[in-house]
Structure 1
Amino acid sequence: MASADTTGMYRYAVDPVMAFIQAVVLTASNPVTILFWAGVFSAKAAVLQRTPSSLCGYMAGCAAATASFLSSLSLLAGYAGPYLSPAMSAVLNGIIGVTILGYGLHRGLAAVKQFRQGLV
């Protein structure tokens, strides 16, 4: 159910538990997420020469770390959001986007360099 407030922005009545469950399901079903974690776990199993059943503790730790980081980040954003102007929010989004793109470019160039040197 949506209703407009005095600023013209729409506010939605959302059950926090349902929002969390939907976020978990959407994240878990994302193909990129699945490929990422499959790569992490298979690399860990290959390096440590472990069986999939022995990686349960590692998997639980990864899940707990991810959940705690993303929960902390969303709490911080929830508390800081009302104090940020739309312009400041846009600037922060831009900085974060450029940072992520720069990191991806850096890692991509490093991978190409390793590939050309025959390290991969």
Structure 2
Amino acid sequence: MYQLLWKGFRFGTLLQVAVGPVCLFIFQTAASSGFWAAEAAVLAVTLADLFYVTAAILGIGALIERSSSARYIFKYLGAAVIILFGISSILGSFEIHIIPGFGTLTRTNSESAFIKALLLTLSSPLTIIFWAGVFSAKAASGEMSGREVSYFGFGAILSTLVFMSMTAIAGTLTGSFLPSSVTLILNILVGLVLIFIGVRTAVRN
């Protein structure tokens, strides 16, 4: 069991190295709002990944993959959410809030950070298809049984918790000595990157 957990952890860590919108959001939250707000976001990301991995193991990913209309809906919906977060990050730097009652990405408390991170992570439902492919390959090759695939998936989820927590620590340390003007620029840059990722997600085949 422990060997499978370690394999899943290593695999998940390789995926985490490819910095995405969620990682950027957690770093930004830590730099502007502190470690605990960012760690609340980390918890949300971990729970969302747990949901996706569980759904993939249960075979939901295979159902989505068979429906081209579902893939298109999820792709464009996810892209729209990421772009919205990017715009909100940029405008929020100037205290302009485009989502009433949702606050800003520049300063946030633990509760709102949790909700934002959860929405941002769930904006990529096609992740289920990726995990379904990984687990199917492991099972089809005879490398792992159904129970062993579950251990592997749980190890990958643990990598999310560890890597994102390290990102939160790095963001907190960085934000502790950055002047407010640099933090403002960081928020704008993160917003631009999120918009780029969202547009790329929408146009990618």
Same fold flag (TM > 0.5) = yes
* Residue 54, structure 1, aligned to residue 154, structure 2: no
Alpha-carbon distance, 1:108 to partner? 2.4
Please tell me the residue identity of whatever aligns with 2:149: L
Q: List runs of 5+ in structure 2 lacking aligned partners.
A: 1-35, 49-117
CA gap of 1:57–1:34, structure 2 versus 1, over 3 A, is farther
Alpha-carbon distance, 1:33 to partner? 7.0
CA gap of 1:22–1:105, structure 2 versus 1, over 3 A, is closer
CA gap of 1:54–1:35, structure 2 versus 1, over 3 A, is farther
Partner residue in 2 for 1:10 = none
Tell me, in whole angstroms, the C-alpha distance in 1 between the residues paired with 2:199 and 2:131: 24
Q: What does 1:1-16 correspond to in 2, within 5 Å?
A: none
Q: Considering Cα pairs closer than 8 Å and 6+ residues apart, tell me whether 1 or 2 has the greater RCO.
A: 2
* The one of 186, 191, 196 aligned to 1:102: 196
Partner residue in 2 for 1:72 = 166
Partner residue in 2 for 1:11 = none
Please report the RMSD computed on the Cα atoms of aligned residues, expressed in angstroms: 3.2
Identity %: 12
CA contact (8 A) 2:135 2:149 kept: yes
Partner residue in 2 for 1:38 = 128
1:15-44 alpha-carbon deviations (Å, 9 max, x no partner): x6xx957852x4426461794653332222
CA gap of 1:95–1:87, structure 2 versus 1, over 3 A, is same
So what's the TM-score if we normalise by structure 2? 0.36
Q: List runs of 5+ in structure 1 lacking aligned partners.
A: 1-15, 112-120
CA contact (8 A) 1:45 1:55 kept: yes
Alpha-carbon distance, 1:92 to partner? 0.8
Tell me, in whole angstroms, the C-alpha distance in 2 between the residues paired with 1:22 and 1:106: 24
Tell me, in whole angstroms, the C-alpha distance in 2 between the residues paired with 1:102 and 1:65: 26
Alpha-carbon distance, 1:109 to partner? 1.4
In the alignment of these two chains, the number of paired residues is 93
For the pair shown, the structure with the greater C-alpha radius of gyration is 1
